Chains A and B, each alone.
Chain A
């Protein structure tokens, strides 16, 4: 992915493999329909409880960090959808550590298909649509409840924000999985950047210490998932002194993140030595 010019055929081949494995897992999930319905609902509810906690907070207050409930719902919805899309596409990647430990990764290495596509599609879980659905409902509420001064630019920015956000989170998933080539048992570290990042972005940046906001703007650029574009749509200033056009830099940041994640993935895969058993 990151190394020089990747032939188009390889990328398309990877996508085809991904699609094949995904459809296989979808069929196998449907064998246990009751369990699928419950886990899909669980996925929906998992996030819903986070929002219920915010609603409970707002039963005592009118603003959190200077933001009203619909404004926070806007941040919450955009964060959840972007994270949900990445989780749907690549959420199984935290199983890589287990595959490295028990040696089953070797089976994937000998198959004539890109390893990343195989790992990403492994145990694909359609139930993860639950989170996207829940995020979309909350975002819908926010858009209706808020009095946003829509401009063509703001309307255009909405899908760009959600998709770029999904790609940025996907890059974190890939980089986190690559990290497991070195630290085989540390999938939880990945969780703190993915689930932790998604939780952070549900709240306005004014809530957090400046250094933390700087960290997620310039070091791990999660702020481009929703904070910067969303605050532009909401007509709110960003707490750091950054140019306003940065709100539109999200796709660029997403592409750079994906490229870097690809490089890390290749380096990790190259350093992989089988368990030898």
Chain B
């Protein structure tokens, strides 16, 4: 059974690897936005050095990391969910339910494959270009990089779990465009993509840090910037795992409710 999901993941990787022009175009866009945001952060950190506990080099690293991770954690969507929503709309989902594989794990495996491709290509290239143009604070310790990759994988799982819930909601709403869009906006804001969460003031900052979206960018970024070490790192992983477990379980419950609905409608 594990072999099946590995194959599905490899399929997800290969499928995204075939979109070569789109990938180059995506890297170009991430780089353009990286430059724009980097200059605004420089202006901000010029006024307030050490804002949010970052120095300027760390803040700039955060910018380029955000651009690199955007596709990996599918912040604006664009992962499996459009396809799943389309299958719900067309009714093809009925055949999926008869497959001898678990629906949720099937889509998760494919999404992990997709994320791996994006991390390798859209994660590294903008980061390299950013490092050429700006002074970044990248760690030399290989263990920090390994810890970072683990945090990214957990971030992808949390992101998947949220998008799975969003996609399943189309069973009830028929047209998933509205929910997908609002989910993308909330993700952009509460993941720390628009501004690091530790720059958010007061209660908003406290709230943002405990919501699941902080697992997508803020936590992996802080792991790479060396803010979580030792037990702190364990705590950060536990936070990501906790949300992953809660949201995946919610996805299972919603899935069985949705399946019953398919039967009721007669396919």
Contacts and interface: CB of A to CB of B under 8 A. Distances in A.
Interface of A: 32, 34-39, 41-43, 45-46, 49-50, 52-53, 56-57, 59-65, 183-189, 191-192, 196, 199-200, 203, 206-209, 212
A38 B179 contact: yes
A186 B200 CA distance: 35
Given A61-B44, A185-B21, A192-B33, A53 B173 contact: no
B185 interface: yes
Contacts of B24: 186
Contact of A38 (B20, B182, B194): B182
Interface of B: 19-22, 24-26, 28-29, 32-33, 35-36, 39-40, 42-44, 47-48, 51, 173-175, 177-179, 181-182, 185, 188-189, 194-195, 199-201, 204
Given A42-B181, A185-B19, A192-B32, A52 B189 contact: yes
A61 B199 CA distance: 12
14 contacts: A32-B174, A36-B178, A43-B181, A52-B194, A56-B201, A57-B195, A61-B44, A185-B21, A188-B25, A196-B29, A196-B36, A203-B43, A207-B42, A209-B39
Nearest to A61: B47
Q: Binding site of B, secondary structure by majority: helix, strand, loop or mixed?
A: helix
Contacts of A35: 173, 175, 177-178
Contacts of A63: 47
Contacts of B36: 196, 199-200, 203, 208
A196 B199 CA distance: 23
Given A56-B199, A196-B32, A183 B25 contact: yes
Contacts of B174: 32
A52 B174 CA distance: 31
A184 B19 CA distance: 11
The 7 lowest CB-CB distance pairs between A and B, nearest first, are A38-B178, A192-B32, A185-B21, A42-B181, A188-B25, A186-B25, A53-B194
Contact of B22 (A39, A64, A186, A200): A186
Output the residue of A192, A200, A212 with the most chain B CB within 10 A.
Answer: A192
A50 B173 contact: no
Given A41-B182, A57-B199, A188-B22, 6 more contacts: A32-B175, A184-B21, A185-B22, A196-B29, A200-B36, A203-B36
Contacts of A52: 189, 194
B151 to A, nearest CB: 23
A56 B199 CA distance: 8
A114 B24 CA distance: 31
A156 to B, nearest CB: 31
B201 A186 contact: no
A49 B189 contact: yes
Given A34-B173, A38-B181, A42-B182, A189 B201 contact: no
